[in-house]
Structure 1
Amino acid sequence: MKQVLQKYLKNNKQNIENIWRTLHSMPEKAFEEHRTSKYLGDKLEEMGFLTVRGIGGTGLTGTYDTGIKGPVVGIRADMDALEHSFPDGNKMQHTCGHDANCAMVLGAAESMSVLNLVKRGKLKIIFQPAEETLDGAREMINSGELSDLDYLLGIHLRPEYELVYGQISPSVMHSAKSSVRVLFGGKESHASRMDLGVNAAEVASMSVVRAGMIHFDPRFCHSAKATKISSDNKAGNVVPSRAEIEFDLRSESNEHLENMEEKLMQTLEQTAESFGATANFDWSERTPAARNYKEIQDLVRQAITELVGNEGVASPIKTTGAEDFHLYAERIEGLQSVMLGIGADVNPGLHMVNMEFNQEVLVLGAQALALSAMDIFDISRKE
């Protein structure tokens, strides 16, 4: 049956590529994926999936329910695009490949439905908004529509320096991420009498320097850096009383990230105090690191080995990139999840203007997802 599946998807190549072209032609911002969501929902209904729309505004699910007790296996893709600056203004583009992710997931869904490959349990297709802002998964989870999931698959194009076309990794191990806006409060004065004021801009500048001197545990892959800095001063001859910095922190370990946050706050509070200033912190909600679920990862490895051979199976990818995909397993009790990484000769790179990739990957990715889902359903049946 697996060979039948692979052949079906190979013969369905033109349709999958047409889906991608349609999605590519209508890039939309996070939580504004209205046309994308409608198109994907209509496609799922044509395939016989029961859809629930409007989750978090634009998210949706499609369920293929056999009516027979069994596992609930989800396959998820993200829908949003990125905004880029051009000489004639800002424009949206699919430079992270979410249009490709959706096309691969929809291709896998269609093949499993048409070939009647789900014999028990449920197959649940998930199209999520707002991955780029790391907010969409939270909305999907809070809806309660995914609380019955047992297993969850995802897929994403990987940059060329990690994987090339024909290579698939059974797991992308994203890092945990948090960000914080730090508001420094000083005291305004005339620029000629700095002795009468507390320069919040100087406090902010020194905070960037001292943050860079923090020694975090080197056993964990991590990064910490300032990404924005500003003051409220409109005049150049006034010592500013307020300044703001945004810091981005990442670590492969959730616990290590918490330690990084504590050290950063302590350092910035001490820096502000040494100037006679104050520091207030506004933290974003943390995005968790990927967990290693051996059972589902082994099943995916088995499936992609059958598809691309041992030479095409790459090692798990460790990255300081973050993905809210991993929030599902953290928030949904008993859920095992894994995100496949797939090589696509991405050029010049993800999140870069006019990003291109080898479109042959659309069929390969759909095959990898469908075969992985088949193995999950099969092992659950044997149990």
Structure 2
Amino acid sequence: MNAIQSFHIDPMVPYSVKMTRLHAGGESTNIIPGNASFVLDLRAQTNSAINLLADKVEQRILAIGNLYGTEIGCVRVGQTMAAEVSPEARDIVAVSIVNILGEDALAPDIVTAGGEDFHYYTAVRPSLKATMLGLGCGVSPGLHHPKMTFDRSTLFDGMRILVSAVMKACELIGK
């Protein structure tokens, strides 16, 4: 982990590398294991940064193996895609938020290094225009927490915003 965390990519692009699983040995605590496996979670704000990050992590892992004369294999399993926001889609949703909830409901954009499954859509189909919509629904104690709660009434606001956005996008396509 020290070798992996000692390199840097563009400091203006948030990224992280976390070990989320390490397994070595069996049940007995007095045996030095002959092999181990680990899983790393890589995240970055952009897809180009995540690709660079993955390459650098793999280079470091292989270099550590060479340094100690041992074989360390790397297998990339899946990829966390970054949110690639389309300015056109963002503007459509912003207009819809203002139309449905008023100017005060439109919050400034946030940039996230988080990843979601639906970010694959634009990676697989680059012609798609995508954005994200945050409802401000009072999530507590935090997203993905097992006891997470939120104001479910905001789902209806989200539904109305999305319907408005789809109608606006259809108008633009029809032009």
On whether the aligned pair clears a TM of 0.5, the verdict is yes
Instruction: Give the structure 1 partner of residue 135 of structure 2.
Output: 342
Per-residue deviation, 1:215 = 2.3
1:249 aligned counterpart, secondary structure: strand
Task: Considering Cα pairs closer than 8 Å and 6+ residues apart, tell me whether 1 or 2 has the greater RCO.
Answer: 1
**Correspondence 1:262 to 2:55:** yes
1:226 aligned counterpart, secondary structure: strand
- Quick one: distance in 1 between partners of 2:123 and 2:23? 35
1:247 to 36, 40, 50: 40
Per-residue deviation, 1:231 = 0.7
Query: Superposed, which structure 2 residues align to 1:101-140 within 5 Å?
Result: none
Change (3 A) 1:333 1:262: closer
Change (3 A) 1:259 1:305: same
1:221 to 10, 14, 29: 14
The one-letter amino acid paired with 2:10 is D
**Correspondence 1:313 to 2:101:** no
Q: Deviations over 1:61-107 (max 9, x none)?
A: xxxxxxxxxxxxxxxxxxxxxxxxxxxxxxxxxxxxxxxxxxxxxxx
2:83 aligned counterpart, secondary structure: coil
Instruction: Give the structure 1 partner of residue 125 of structure 2.
Output: 332
* Structure 1 spans left out of the alignment, 5+ residues: 1-207
**Correspondence 1:361 to 2:154:** yes
Could you tell me whether the CA contact under 8 Å between 2:137 and 2:152 is conserved in 1? yes
What is the aligned-residue identity percentage?
28
Q: Deviations over 1:272-327 (max 9, x none)?
A: 22222111011112232222312222111111111222221012221222112121
- Quick one: distance in 2 between partners of 1:316 and 1:267? 35
* Length, aligned pairs only: 175
- Quick one: distance in 2 between partners of 1:344 and 1:354? 15
Could you tell me whether the CA contact under 8 Å between 1:212 and 1:225 is conserved in 2? no
Per-residue deviation, 1:223 = 0.7
2:93 aligned counterpart, secondary structure: helix
Query: Superposed, which structure 2 residues align to 1:49-60 within 5 Å?
Result: none
Per-residue deviation, 1:362 = 2.1
Q: Whose helix fraction is larger, Structure 1's or Structure 2's? A: 2
* Structure 2 spans left out of the alignment, 5+ residues: none
Please give the root-mean-square deviation of Cα atoms over the aligned residues, in Å.
1.7
The one-letter amino acid paired with 1:314 is A
**Correspondence 1:379 to 2:172:** yes
- Quick one: distance in 2 between partners of 1:249 and 1:257? 7
Q: Whose strand fraction is larger, Structure 1's or Structure 2's? A: 1
- Quick one: distance in 1 between partners of 2:8 and 2:130? 33
Could you tell me whether the CA contact under 8 Å between 2:80 and 2:116 is conserved in 1? yes
2:135 aligned counterpart, secondary structure: strand
Instruction: Give the structure 2 partner of residue 283 of structure 1.
Output: 76
Per-residue deviation, 1:329 = 2.0
Q: Deviations over 1:19-64 (max 9, x none)?
A: xxxxxxxxxxxxxxxxxxxxxxxxxxxxxxxxxxxxxxxxxxxxxx
The one-letter amino acid paired with 1:372 is A
The one-letter amino acid paired with 1:209 is N
